[in-house]
Structure 1
Amino acid sequence: MIRTDPPTPDLFLTPVDEVFVRNHLGPHPRLDTATWSLTVEGLVERPLRLDFPTLQSLPQTRFTAVHECFGNPLHPTVPTRAVTNVEWAGVPLAAVLELAGPLPEARHVWLEGADTGDFGGESGTSYLKDLPLDLAGAEVVLAHGMNGEPLRPDHGYPVRAVAPLMFGTNSVKWLSRIVLAADRPDHLFTTRLYTRVLPGESESRPVREKDVSSKLLAPGDGSSVPAGTCELAGYAWSSTEVTSVEVSVDDAGWQPAALDRRGPDPAWQRFRLPYDLAPGPHRIRCRATDSAGRVQPLAGDRNAVHEIRVVAEASTHPTGR
């Protein structure tokens, strides 16, 4: 399923039916909580095999976070703008690591899904991601719920990893195995794909931390609206708080939009700007800045400023005399 813009975009929480789905390795695995288990192995004092009831008996957490697809790893600079805002429920990875007891030489956490298939010229590969142990222990949640309901099969049922400050590629679905290791794994989805060179740098790094970004959602791209005052609105997000959003109409100067604060969860932030649209076609753009000082580029990268085109139609109602 390829879907970028949800039918009802102007909601703080994206309905599960409208959350995008991305799979690299063919049809998703058919798993059952009665037989599913999660192994924790490698550089640990106590290797574990957790069934679903045991996982649910561990401390639980609930939070709302932006869920964003990085895009096609074969074309890392092409914008996709597939993004949603979701409430997750699950178990902090830290609780599972505490049970297993990482050994002192453990430096990395490998997260492996149950899905296998062919991608990027490799056959029979699994979906594997890795994170530094301290980062994974502080951020990752083993989620079994999404917007108040159990995960659906195409979203990782029964359990997926969620790394809320990172791109969705790090939130491994159909989680089946966790390995603690001294080194990173050399794998298609760790060292050969989902890497990039950031602006101002010369060496490639793993795709992890979200970029600063924003997206116009109202009015809809390609829509017709009445001429006159129109609210230009959307959402902005980053791995840290977004501090400002600006909007430009027809290449005029950038105007500051009203922006909601982020709050304690890494959710997206709504912005809005009332604007008087003259009759005719219009090009509207938005750009965000975050607390790290990062600004969306005008062009040339996956988080380049978003633009929409609308037509403002003059009223056809006759005037009275």
Structure 2
Amino acid sequence: MTQHTRPADPTTPDSFITPVDRVFVRTHFGKHPELEASAWSLTIEGLVDRPLELDLPTLLALPQTHLTAVHECLGNPLHPDVPTRAVANLDWTGVPLSTVLDLAGPRPEARHVWLEGADTGNFADEHDISYLKDLPLEQARAEVLLAHRMNGEPLLPQHGFPVRAVAPRMFTTNSVKWLTRIVLAAERPDHLFTTRLYTRTHPGETEPRPAREIDVNSKLLTPRHVPAGTTELAGRTWSYTDVTTVDVAIDDGPWQRATLEPRGTHPTWQRFALTHHLTPGPHRIRSRATDSAGRVQPPAGARNEVHEIEITAS
């Protein structure tokens, strides 16, 4: 199963930008690689006219951009339907992947971009494998950032130093850390982390798809102990597209429409809140989001099921 570099995830704070020390950490092989900036390089190869090898100063000299985006872990790839809600909202600085691809010159037959990290090891009974993901070329060209800073600071080793991919609006399995190799190819790679794990069969379908676009989801962030009386019940919600409504239910009461902040121009999460009078004692709080594509958080049994917490008012 997926291994962590620390025993538990930090609690998600109710702030627009998640502090770096509150961001969840995931690795597949038990530890992250220790890379030296002076020795790092990124190769771009495969179906390109001009294969490249870029060192860090060369990459940093290219035009830079900023992106603020929600960042969600799919969870254990062996159990992809188990809810985790490991999520953060982060500001990234880096070079658009399209800039590097233009320097390399993709050939007309290139259809897919393979992203490979420096981390290697054993996972799910396979040995000495690297971490590899792939995306359709046009999607990768339009969206992926080669990031070297998180929240204005250089990436920490556990978050992908010195450079990682950031694939906004996608599960973070697609945002390859410790990026060292990009391959343009006509076909998808047959690999543990591309075609055998991190796939999902959607309701009404028979063929699995790669786990890419994030689901509509929400997470209540109200403290477990609150004052009795008029209280704000708040949280964060996110989706591949913008969330249009969030409903909150208290105990066995009806769903009530929460106030929802707009998403804006970047693919970020959105804050929702409902003010409600709570009597002293325990309460069950639930949240349910709907996005502009008409997707609604499902009931129990799905990885993005309606979120539920228990709080006590006193």
| TM-score normalised by L of structure 1 | 0.95
Partner of residue 105 from structure 2, selected from 98, 101, 107: 101
Q: In structure 2, what is the equivalent of residue 265 of structure 1?
A: 266
Q: Which residue of 1 aligns with 2:76?
A: 72
Deviations 1:235-262 (A, max 9, x none): 0000100000000011211000000000
Distance in 1 separating the partners of 2:148 and 2:7: 23
User: Residues 300 and 241 (structure 1 numbering): CA distance in 2 closer, same or farther, change over 3 Å?
Assistant: same
Instruction: Write out per-residue CA displacement over residues 129-162 of structure 1, whole angstroms, 9 at most, x where no aligned residue.
Output: 0000000000100000000100000000000000
Q: Deviations over 1:144-187 (max 9, x none)?
A: 00001000000000000000110000000000000000000000
Match of 1:281 in 2: 282
CA distance in 1 between partners of 2:10 and 2:286 (Å): 17
1:154-193 correspondence runs (5 A): 154-193=158-197
Query: Could you tell me which residue of structure 2 aligns to residue 317 of structure 1?
Result: none
Q: Does 1:143 align with 2:144?
A: no
Answer yes or no: is the 8 Å Cα contact 1:2–1:21 preserved in 2.
Answer: no
SS in 2 for 1:96: helix
SS at match of 1:138: helix
Mapped partners of 1:178, 1:26: distance in 2:
24
SS class of match (2:221): strand
Q: Could you tell me how far 1:199 is from its partner in structure 2?
A: 1.9
Residue in structure 2 matched with residue 32 of structure 1 by the alignment: 36
Amino acid at match of 2:102: E
1:312 corresponds to 2:313 = yes
Matches within 5 A, 1:218-257: 218=222, 220=223, 223-257=224-258
Q: How far 1:281 sits from its partner (Å)? A: 1.1
Query: Following TM superposition, by how much is the alpha carbon of 1:25 offset from its aligned partner in structure 2, in angstroms?
Result: 1.4
The answer to whether structure 1 residue 217 and structure 2 residue 218 are counterparts is no
Q: Unaligned 5+ residue runs, structure 1? A: 314-321
Equivalent AA in structure 2 for residue 82 of structure 1: A
CA contact (8 A) 1:106 1:181 kept: yes
Q: In the TM superposition, what is the alpha-carbon distance from 1:6 to its structure 2 partner?
A: 2.3
Equivalent residue, structure 2, for 1:316: none
Runs of 4+ in 1 over 6 A off after TM superposition: none
Contact 1:4-1:81 at 8 Å conserved across structures: no
The one-letter code matched in structure 2 to 1:303 is N
Identity among equivalent pairs (%)? 69
CA distance in 1, matches of 2:204, 2:273: 32
> Offset of 1:4 from its aligned partner?
3.5
Which protein has the larger Cα radius of gyration, Structure 1 or Structure 2?
Answer: 1
Residue equivalent to 2:128: 124
The TM-score, its normalising length taken from structure 2, stands at 0.97
2:3 matched residue in structure 1: none
Kept in 2: contact 1:13–1:86 (CA 8 A) = yes
* Residue number in structure 2 paired with 1:6: 11
Asked whether the equivalents of residues 3 and 82 of structure 1 are also in contact (C-alpha less than 8 Å), the reply is no
What is aligned with 1:85?
A: 89
Are the equivalent residues in 2 in contact too, given 1:289–1:295 (CA < 8 A)? yes
Residue ranges of structure 2 left out of the alignment (5+ in a row): 1-5
Partners of 1:49 and 1:244 in 2: CA distance:
46
Secondary structure of 2:189 counterpart: coil
Deviation at 1:2, TM superposition (A): 4.4
AA paired with 2:93?
A
1:5–1:82 Cα contact (<8 Å) kept: no
For the 8 Å contact 1:19–1:84, the answer to whether it is kept is: yes
Alpha-carbon distance in 2 for matches of 1:2, 1:68: 18
The letter of the residue matching 1:36 is W
Aligned residue for 1:54, secondary structure, equals: helix
TM-align CA RMSD: 0.9
**1: distance between equivalents of 2:144 and 2:75?**
21
Aligned length: 309
Greater Cα shift, 163-172 or 224-233? 224-233
Match of 1:292 in 2: 293
CA distance in 1, matches of 2:98, 2:277: 51
